[in-house]
Amino acid sequence: MTGPLTPVRAIALRRMTEADLGEVMRIERAAYAVPWTEGIFRDCLRANYCCLVADRAGRLIGHTVMSVAAGECHILNLCVAPSHQGRGLGRRLLRRTLALARQREADTAFLEVRASNQGAIRLYQAEGFDEIGLRKGYYPSAEPGVDPSRSRREDAVLMARAL
């Protein structure tokens, strides 16, 4: 006979605050070789961008940042802690972000994704995004141990979908 099932702790999606930035940076550094800076997140909060975090029992496990203007939204950052990837959280964050864009009367969503990030590209395609272009040399290289200012740069796939 097996023991009682451990209940799955709920994941709450809520607005990001400045108090969250320490944990947001922990996730950024764990997930990306070239993470955003805390200053970029602060600027996004000050600009009143749509900034969400995924909170599981008081511990952050993901976040997203989106701007909305002139009927368009731009997903600027969508990040899930490596220990929680592959469980549908990225899809959930994306869907909530797009729902908020619709509430703010956006009719088109745009994003860039590293050309090497095939998992993210598959997610975005499954959620209705199409490739509409390529931004050459958009991202600093993610080569481990290489100073991003001295490394090769990586292309970004530009994707869009109607809302």
The verdict on whether 112 is a catalytic residue reads: yes
Is 35 in a helix, a strand, or coil? Answer: coil
The verdict on whether 124 is a catalytic residue reads: yes
Residue 50's nearest CA partner among 35, 40, 63 is 63
Among 23, 124, 139, 154, the one annotated catalytic: 124
Is 28 in a helix, a strand, or coil? Answer: helix
Is 45 in a helix, a strand, or coil? Answer: helix
Residue 142's nearest CA partner among 21, 38, 29 is 29
Among 112, 131, 139, 143, the one annotated catalytic: 112
Which residues are catalytic, by number? 112, 124
